[in-house]
Structure 1
Amino acid sequence: MGDMRVTDKFGVLAEPRFRLLWIGRTTSALGDAMMPVTLAFAVLSAGGSATDIGLVIAATMVARMVLLLIGGALADRLPRRLLLGGSDLFLFAVQATVGVLFLAGHRSLTILLGTAICYGAASAVTRPAVAGIVPQTVDRAKLQQANGLMELSRGAAQVVGPALAGVVVVTASVGWVYLLDAVTFLVSAITLAFLPLPSMQRTGGSRILKEVAAGWSEVVRRPWYWVTLCGHAICNVGSSAFYVLGPVVIARQVGGAANWGLVSASMAVGALLGAATAMRYRPRRPLVAAHLGLLLSVLQLAALTGHFPTVVIMGSALVSAAGVAFANSLWTTAIQRLIPEELLSRVSSYDWLISFTVAPLGYAAVGPLSEAVGATWTLEIAIAFAVAGVATVLLVPRVRQLRQTGEGDLHGWPDLDDRATDDTPATSDTACTTTASPESAR
């Protein structure tokens, strides 16, 4: 399909603005990756149970889902750099406070629930803000490479973070992990403070809920986008079966629950490989290639339907995770190029909302369904969902028509082709260009 004309796969780090953003987000991602392990031990050390762990996790998810659309509207209204920096400083204060309280012996579930709500609220702002800020830090030709590196860094953090948290908990205490997480947020805030960004048109003057509604209108007026989101939702429901039934099937059929750790490790490696591939390979049909990569997720589901050895399941999980990471990078890049920058955070917040909402529904449905019809039938139904989701996307004409050059310029849609030949302003389906003046006043 084509190749990326960048000789150095880490060449995007030569961009000073992106380098600062990458350092901050990677450090913050490491802190985020430490928290799932830390949270479990924190709840138990406060006298809680498994039910309480689920309650704290649910508090984070609910806060995020409730505020996500508002976070997207804020990220389009306010300077994203300040919004991200403020969120980092807020979480620095929250995590540092919890760390000090735990070290002082003041441990309670109420503190952890409050912390979870704060965490969810902050992530509701940072998710859409990050989607909008990356294009402001790199040349358009390096945008896919930048997104691939961000995906790669998040994958690496998911490998290192839990292990680091476990070591600190065992050798020190839970409180020290919270303090370490606070430091990661402080580092991210400092990098953002030194990050100059180009100015851009901002929304303003209207109520925040009106801007949320305007974001929905922008989603609805782009059928290729909302149909793709529906396809992703269907695919996510199918993929959820692997995470629910995978440990059960492996424990019963392959020879022990410990092998699930090997499968999880292979998925982490696969995610790194997929992100690295996205940094180096620029397909001519980006949306088609992205969803063909997403289709690889059926391999890990199929591997659970038979009595396959652990190494086969590990290989299928690795390839599936690589495909998903590759798809994420290409999809993010396409959206950043096709959606006007002043609308980008609001529009992308609906993408995040669907992902955060649908996945838990899939997790909740898989268990009862497997008890009713059996694990094998449930996995086959999940495969059908994943295939149907990808097919729904690939049936959209604009998804198949979109192409890009070796330099990353998009074409294949009438409005994109007209813009390329006539140098006309961006239309409703194409991204706007920002000016080059620094955001020093912000």
Structure 2
Amino acid sequence: MTTPDAPSAPPASKGVNSRLVALAAGAGLSEFGDVLFFVAFIADLYVSTGSARTVGFVLVAFSAGNLVGAIAGGTLIDRLPARAWLVLGNLATAGLVVFAYATALPAVAALALVVGVTGRALLVGQQACIPLTEPGPLLRANAVIMSTRRLGQLAAPFLAGTLVALGHTRDAYLIDAATFVFSAVATFVALPPRRRLHRQEATATGIIAYARRTPAVRTSFLVQCVIGVILGTSNTVVVVYATEFLHSGPRGYGILSTFTAVGAILGGLTVGLLRRRASAKWATVGCLAVAGLALGLLPAVPWLAVASLLRACGGWAWNVLSIVLLAALHEGGPRHLHGRLIGVTRSGQDICLIIFTALAGTAATLVGITGVLLGAGVLGVASALALALARRPFDWQPG
């Protein structure tokens, strides 16, 4: 079936794009392992310490790693042969997850930092490589990659919560390491050898100067900042909400995370339909509003089933936002800056993740879970209103 965003149908002889399929398989495996590790890591930490502030501290380290990894990964994928860098990076990270195990809090934070760096660097590289596997309809290609990533999320949270509840957290880390190995194999199949994203002589353009002058990049950065606030709040507070409001413990947290992934998958399936009816601006406005409402309404919901539906709505909005922003970047941004543009715009999310992950745990002890969730939800809705009033926020002509 042809999506609304696709050009005229290619000749039937082309068949299935095997490179895109392989990259999507690698993306799904990576996401499964990453989410399994993350949910098990956070749930085990909260079960063992009972402290939202400790969870927030460790998540700050993880988010700081994400920030460094986004910039480093974007630079590396713009300058190195894509296949060699991503294959070696996946294998090195597999070794790290297998052999690194920590119990003391400083060591736990250090492990979170390093895993954050490597995981985000590989993700940015993978996202920047999508045009190497599918030079045609990039919205559809991004939707395929994002949808397989969200499928990878689907089983991971519940499995992670179950492993933690049974006392087998270490098994989650070993499964994560195995997914990095499988992802390395899939990436080797997907990407052509000795290919960079651009000609080497094209790297002179300054990324910061370009970002400052281009409305679409500025808008993407600011939207990523809002996403960072919402995700930072969710990462720290939802595990406490599941335990104290819903009284469902690690399994309940896993169920909420699973429904977030279900919503995200639906976002990948519906983004083409949405973009046919709305511009990038109005699609972004709608998703910001939905994300804010889905988070802000959680304190009014004491039932796991209804809370799961709200988390699904939030996952839908987050995934559609991610696809719309990435597709706009691939289609409008200079090819030799793709990796660094992804890294720079995602850095807005990571900066806010660091700040609000740190603040959320402390704020929860001061104003309660209700105040924190409601505040983040209001920010999402207010950001949607501000973007609705902006003129040509996704213009790619430098000003």
Alignment match, 2:91: 89
Query: Structure 2 regions of 5+ residues with no counterpart?
Result: none
Alignment match, 1:337: 331
Identify which of 349, 353, 356 aligns with 1:355. 349
User: How far does the alpha carbon of each residue in 1:155-204 deviate from its partner, in whole angstroms, 9 at most, with x for none?
Assistant: 22223124445666788955554443333222222222233436653346
Q: Secondary structure at the match of 1:149?
A: helix
Q: Give the number of the structure with larger relative contact order, counting CA–CA contacts within 8 Å between residues 6 or more apart.
A: 2
| Cα 1:43/1:328, change in 2 over 3 Å | closer
Q: Does 1:277 align with 2:267?
A: no
1:367-378 maps to which residues of 2 (within 5 A)? 368-369=362-363
Alignment match, 1:202: 199
Q: Does 1:266 align with 2:292?
A: no
Q: Is the 8 A contact 1:71 1:126 kept in 2?
A: yes
Q: Is the 8 A contact 1:242 1:300 kept in 2?
A: no
User: How far does the alpha carbon of each residue in 1:358-417 deviate from its partner, in whole angstroms, 9 at most, with x for none?
Assistant: 0232233345556666665655543432123223333332247x7xxxxxxxxxx8x7xx
Please, which moves more after superposition, 306-315 or 185-194?
306-315
Q: Is the 8 A contact 2:77 2:197 kept in 1?
A: no
Alignment match, 1:436: none
Q: Secondary structure at the match of 1:398?
A: coil
Alignment match, 2:142: 147
User: How far does the alpha carbon of each residue in 1:88-135 deviate from its partner, in whole angstroms, 9 at most, with x for none?
Assistant: 12113323444xxx7xxx988787666544423323421321221012
Identify which of 210, 214, 219 aligns with 1:218. 210
Alignment match, 1:286: 280
Q: Secondary structure at the match of 1:342?
A: helix
Query: Structure 1 regions of 5+ residues with no counterpart?
Result: 403-412, 416-427, 430-442
Alignment match, 2:134: 138
Please, which moves more after superposition, 387-396 or 197-206?
197-206
What is the CA–CA distance in structure 1 between the aligned matches of 2:368 and 2:50, rounded to whole Å? Answer: 29
Alignment match, 2:384: 390
Q: Name the Cα RMSD after superposition.
A: 4.2
User: How far does the alpha carbon of each residue in 1:36-55 deviate from its partner, in whole angstroms, 9 at most, with x for none?
Assistant: 255469889xx999788766
| 1:308 Cα deviation after fit | 6.7
Please, which moves more after superposition, 79-88 or 367-376?
367-376
Q: Secondary structure at the match of 1:256?
A: coil
Letter in 2 for 1:269: V
1:66-145 maps to which residues of 2 (within 5 A)? 66-98=68-100, 115-141=111-137, 143-145=138-140
Q: Secondary structure at the match of 1:297?
A: helix
Q: Is the 8 A contact 2:224 2:346 kept in 1?
A: no
| 1:31 Cα deviation after fit | 1.7
What is the CA–CA distance in structure 1 between the aligned matches of 2:191 and 2:275, rounded to whole Å? Answer: 28
| Cα 1:75/1:96, change in 2 over 3 Å | same
Q: Does 1:237 align with 2:234?
A: no
Please, which moves more after superposition, 233-242 or 120-129?
233-242
Q: Secondary structure at the match of 1:397?
A: coil
User: How far does the alpha carbon of each residue in 1:60-103 deviate from its partner, in whole angstroms, 9 at most, with x for none?
Assistant: 433332343232122111122222112112113323444xxx7x
Alignment match, 1:424: none
| 1:4 Cα deviation after fit | 4.8
Matched positions, count: 388
| Cα 1:166/1:311, change in 2 over 3 Å | closer
| 1:3 Cα deviation after fit | 3.9
Q: TM-score, normalised by structure 1?
A: 0.72
Letter in 2 for 1:221: R
What is the CA–CA distance in structure 2 between the aligned matches of 1:42 and 1:322, rounded to whole Å? Answer: 27
Letter in 2 for 1:184: T
Q: Is the 8 A contact 1:235 1:387 kept in 2?
A: no
